[in-house]
């Protein structure tokens, strides 16, 4: 059973537009929801993360929206730039699980 | 600090051959992880370790073995490589007190 489902698989956005990537999770015990950014040929790097005690977290142009009742969370990239073109992964975990469950990834292409 | 390093960067094996992938971290992290990344499937956990001398199975452990004889190193072994093990392998580490994983640059493995 896939623990974290991510959509869309790919996304094309014009420069200056808003990129939105969605994730849904199964296990209500999860209490940590990070987003990772991966450039070609590199390892993933933490972008932003949220815990379920808040509904939104913003860091610069990147915002996570969290809906606990729907078991969904999303990444919003405001004023998208060509340099944001990368693959984005959502994930979920509970520290006592010692494991992280990743979504399938979204390849974002920001057109100049 | 080099962070998380992986050796080798690329490798081509023939079916049935064996090999060992090395992950090293210089951040004194307790936790270390091995993931495989396949197109459309995100990152899937192979094995992980919560400390020196301990290892545990992840989501997709079959065909792989691991060892953590030193805190800074986490080895992933393929005893008899199969074409289904063609993938990009990522190692990650994290501190006990935080949830942030730090990833290495990856090893691209092709099994013919």
The beta-carbon neighbor of A104 closest among B4, B41, B92 is B41
Q: Which two tokens stand for residue A60?
A: 């610069």
When CB atoms are compared, the residue of A43, A46, A102 closest to B100 is: A46
Give B31-62 as a DSSP string.
EEEEEEEETTTEEEEEEEEEETTEEEE-SS-T
Residue range A7-29: average pLDDT? 96
**Span A12-17, mean pLDDT?**
98
Residue the block writes with tokens 């004194």:
B28
Write out pLDDT tens, residues B63-87: 999 999 999 999 999 999 999 999 9
Inform me whether the pLDDT recorded for A24 exceeds 80: yes
Q: What is the pLDDT of residues B38-63, one digit of tens each?
A: 988 899 999 999 999 999 999 999 99
CB contact under 8 A, A89 and B33: no
* Average pLDDT over every residue of A14-23: 98
Q: Which of B9, B21, B24, B43 to mutate to test the interface with A (most CBs of A within 10 A)?
A: B43
CA–CA dist B109, B8 (Å, integer): 9
Q: How confident is the model at residue A77 (pLDDT cuts 50, 70, 90)?
A: very high
**Best CA proximity match to B74, nearest among B5, B2, B3:** B5
**Contact B103/A at CB under 8 A:** yes
Q: Centre a 10 Å sphere on the Cβ of residue B83 and count the other Cβ atoms it contains.
A: 11
Put simply, the answer to whether B103 touches A103 (Cβ < 8 Å) is: no
Contacts of A4 in chain B (CB under 8 A): 42
């Amino acid at each position: 059973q896939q623990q974290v489902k991510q959509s869309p698989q790919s996304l094309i956005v014009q420069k200056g537009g808003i990129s939105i990537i969605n994730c849904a999770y199964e296990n209500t015990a999860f209490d940590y929801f990070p987003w990772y950014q991966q450039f070609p040929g590199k390892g993933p790097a933490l972008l932003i993360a949220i815990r379920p005690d808040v509904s939104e977290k913003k860091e610069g142009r990147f915002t996570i929206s969290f809906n606990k009742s729907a078991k969904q969370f999303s990444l919003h990239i405001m004023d998208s730039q060509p340099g944001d073109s990368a693959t984005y992964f959502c994930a979920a975990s509970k520290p006592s699980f010692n494991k992280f469950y990743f979504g399938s990834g979204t390849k974002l292409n920001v057109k100049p | 600090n080099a962070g998380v390093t992986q050796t080798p960067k690329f490798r081509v094996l023939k079916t049935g051959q064996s090999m060992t992938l090395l992950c090293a971290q210089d951040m004194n992290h307790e936790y270390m992880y091995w993931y495989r990344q396949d197109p459309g499937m995100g990152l899937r956990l192979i094995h992980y370790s919560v400390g020196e001398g301990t290892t545990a199975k992840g989501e997709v452990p079959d065909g792989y073995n691991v060892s953590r004889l030193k805190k800074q190193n986490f080895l992933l072994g393929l005893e008899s490589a199969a074409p289904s093990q063609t993938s990009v392998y990522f190692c990650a580490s994290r501190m006990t007190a935080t949830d942030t994983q730090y990833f290495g640059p990856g090893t691209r493995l092709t099994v013919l």
